[in-house]
Chain A
Amino acid sequence: MGYQGNFRVWRGDADGGGLEDFTVEVNEGEVVLDVIHRLQATQAGDLAVRWNCKAGKCGSCSAEINGRPRLLCMTRMSTFTEGETITITPMRTFPIIRDLVTDVSFNYTKAREIPSFKPPKGLAPGEYRMQQVDVERSQEFRKCIECFLCQDTCHVIRDHEENKEAFAGPRFLMRVAELEMHPLDEGGRVDAAQEQHGLGLCNITKCCSEVCPEHIKITDNALIPMKERVADRKYDPIVWLGNKIFRRQP
Chain B
Amino acid sequence: MRAQISERTLRTDRWWLSPLLTVAGLGLISVYAAIRTFMNDYYWVGEYHYLTPMYSPCLSAECVPAASHFGQPLPELPGFLTPPIFIIPFLLGFRITCYYYRKAYYRAAWMSPPACAVAEPHKTYTGETKAPLIAQNLHRYFFYAASILLLINIYDAIAAFSGEKGFGIGLGNIILLVNVGLLAAYTLSCHSCRHIMGGKLKHFSKHPVRYWMWQRISTLNGKHMQLAWSSLIFVCLTDLYIALVASGVIGDLRFVN
B128 contacts the other chain (CB 8 A): yes
A150 to chain B, nearest CB (A): 10
Which chain B residue shows the least CB distance to A18? B4
Which chain A residue shows the least CB distance to B125? A160
A30 to chain B, nearest CB (A): 20
- Inter-chain CA distance A87–B4, complex, in Å, is 14
Q: Within 8 Å CB of B118, what residues of A? A: 67
Inter-chain contact total with CB atoms closer than 8 Å: 153
Q: Within 8 Å CB of A119, what residues of B? A: none
Q: Within 8 Å CB of B138, what residues of A? A: 231, 235
B12 contacts the other chain (CB 8 A): yes
A10 contacts the other chain (CB 8 A): yes
Q: Within 8 Å CB of A207, what residues of B? A: 113, 116-117
A111 contacts the other chain (CB 8 A): no
A50 to chain B, nearest CB (A): 14
A127 to chain B, nearest CB (A): 17
A175 contacts the other chain (CB 8 A): no
A142 contacts the other chain (CB 8 A): no
Contact B124 A228 (CB under 8 A): no
Query: Which residues of A in the span 204-250 have a Cβ within 8 Å of any Cβ on B?
Result: 204-207, 210-211, 220, 224-225, 227-232, 234-236, 250
Contact B128 A102 (CB under 8 A): no
19 additional A-B residue pairs with CB within 8 Å, beyond A155-B125, A158-B113, A203-B112: A10-B3, A66-B11, A67-B12, A67-B117, A134-B203, A153-B116, A155-B112, A160-B124, A203-B102, A203-B106, A205-B106, A207-B117, A224-B99, A225-B195, A230-B137, A232-B200, A235-B134, A235-B137, A250-B201
Binding site for B on A (CB under 8 A): 10, 12, 14, 16-18, 64, 66-69, 84, 87, 89-90, 92-96, 102, 131, 133-134, 137, 153, 155-156, 158-163, 181, 183, 198, 200-207, 210-211, 220, 224-225, 227-232, 234-236, 250
Listed A/B pairs (11) with beta-carbon separation below 8 Å:
A87-B10, A92-B3, A96-B1, A162-B124, A201-B125, A204-B99, A220-B222, A228-B191, A229-B195, A235-B134, A235-B138
